[in-house]
Structure 1
């Protein structure tokens, strides 16, 4: 129910935010996003939000449209239809203000393997206009937080896969964003490394109040307390708290709920993205 609907129904609307106010309060606001590659529709009227200081899981199989959505949020792709806002800043109209609040870890690794851990961080800091002294201080801070202080001088190629991912998260946090996007951040990692990455990211939410959008195709990376968005063949099939999504789908757990949702979508002729 919108504020207008509540007013017409005779309800007190003072505590009900308007659609615009709700978007401004959100860490990330996705509204009516559609995107096509030629005749192939990758995203179809996608809309959801990520609250500040929250962990939102974007669950979808490979090809669901998760990476396309991330490319739109980060402005690697131009928006064809719809709106995206970061803490009230429209990324099409105010990209500088919006992207300064955003940190991203993409699925493909983007570290320079021949530079040291610290050199990778200093290079990233320079791109954000952070002075060298401040950049070194922030580098020490984020490396201590992720447990890589002892590898500061190591070349990145000498790190394990899990350590590289932790370094990418540290790099994404160097300019102190308020929203962090992670696209399949645990791909290729062993069970312990995956658990370590998830624990670290959830700690960022709890201790630093960062809003997180975590894209994954793995059910065991989703916690019962998370907000959940189910994306399938470019469409949002369900969103809300995990328990609510499971109950509404008539499932006993995330796995069965996802199978019921995507099975119904397939029977209704969903389009491959």
Structure 2
């Protein structure tokens, strides 16, 4: 079946950001859950919100989804202000909540029909869209199956299909894979990437998982209601001075002495002797030539998303080395 969105947002809306938050403030009493956040996204991009509990992710999504009102600042969805034009904003939104919201006793198809009625879709249009969503998400054979008989992963696919039924340009997901097993999580992310690539849908999601943040085109890290890091995965990783060559051998002190004699500035770390440099792949041969120690193993390590997160949490822009840094090892045997 051909997959396309027959009725786009129009020229004016298409030119506007999919979402734009400007100086957003959300208060609970004297606490600023969101404190002057300004972020936006052009259509067709995936944005991740990353941060610990209490960072302001859910409060931000609550305002963006029109479920809550901002205390200050502005929020627009495809140019529609959520305060002055909430209905227009909601029509461009698809929502997938952390909690399951499907009617478990109804079939997959009946859940979708109920959503279509809520959005006032005409019967013929709703039928065509339901068929398209069932096909897109591999649910056609399960259309008459009750939700309570589905696995958690399949139920989540139904929720995403339902959120897309009325042709939103932006889909918002709060912890979309919470409670799912690794296989179901992978399937959900394959679905979301297809939505961006094949339908041009803009995706905004919150997550606690470092690996899930890496699916995003743009990552926003929140801490105590403020943006502390923002950018693409590569931009965030390259902002850290933690790419390095790590030498493991039988005598770290001897290796460090030999490296210093060759003009390097080695550091003895828990994992071995590290030589920090911007382009470790280009200098690994120099490091190996400088060493004459037994049992030599050399690894190139680059910062991971965990390193970025730890640096943001500590307020540091420098080296913060996590256990899941990306490694590439080259074993070198010496007499």
Which bin holds the TM-score, normalised by the shorter protein? 0.7 to 0.9
| 1:23-82 deviation line (CA, Å, top 9, x unaligned) | 963111011111111122211111111221111111112222111111101111111111
Give the distance between the partners of 1:224 and 1:98, measured in 2 at CA.
26
**Which residue pairs with 1:102 in the alignment?**
93
Structure 1 range deviating more: 206-215 or 161-170: 206-215
Give the distance between the partners of 1:71 and 1:57, measured in 2 at CA.
15
> Is 1:154 the equivalent of 2:145?
yes
**Which residue pairs with 2:165 in the alignment?**
174
Contact 2:26 2:33 in 1 (8 A): yes
Contact 2:20 2:40 in 1 (8 A): yes
TM-score of the two chains, using structure 1 as the length reference: 0.85
Give the distance between the partners of 2:31 and 2:216, measured in 1 at CA.
35
Give the distance between the partners of 2:314 and 2:92, measured in 1 at CA.
37
Give the aligned CA root-mean-square deviation in angstroms. 1.7
Gap runs ≥5 in structure 1: 1-20, 266-273
Larger Rg belongs to? 2
SS in structure 2 of the partner of residue 170 of structure 1:
helix
- Please list, as runs of the form range in 1=range in 2, the aligned pairs for 1:86-97 lying within 5 A after superposition: 86-97=77-88
**Which residue pairs with 1:196 in the alignment?**
187
**Which residue pairs with 1:83 in the alignment?**
74
Gap runs ≥5 in structure 2: 1-11, 243-302, 317-335
Distance apart, 1:134 and its partner CA: 2.1
Match of 1:233 among 224, 229, 234: 224
Give the distance between the partners of 2:160 and 2:241, measured in 1 at CA.
36
Structure of higher RCO (CA pairs closer than 8 Å, 6+ residues apart): 1
SS in structure 2 of the partner of residue 212 of structure 1:
strand
Contact 2:171 2:204 in 1 (8 A): yes
Give the distance between the partners of 1:256 and 1:57, measured in 2 at CA.
17
TM-score of the two chains, using structure 2 as the length reference: 0.70
Number of residue pairs the alignment of both structures matches = 244
Contact 2:214 2:305 in 1 (8 A): no
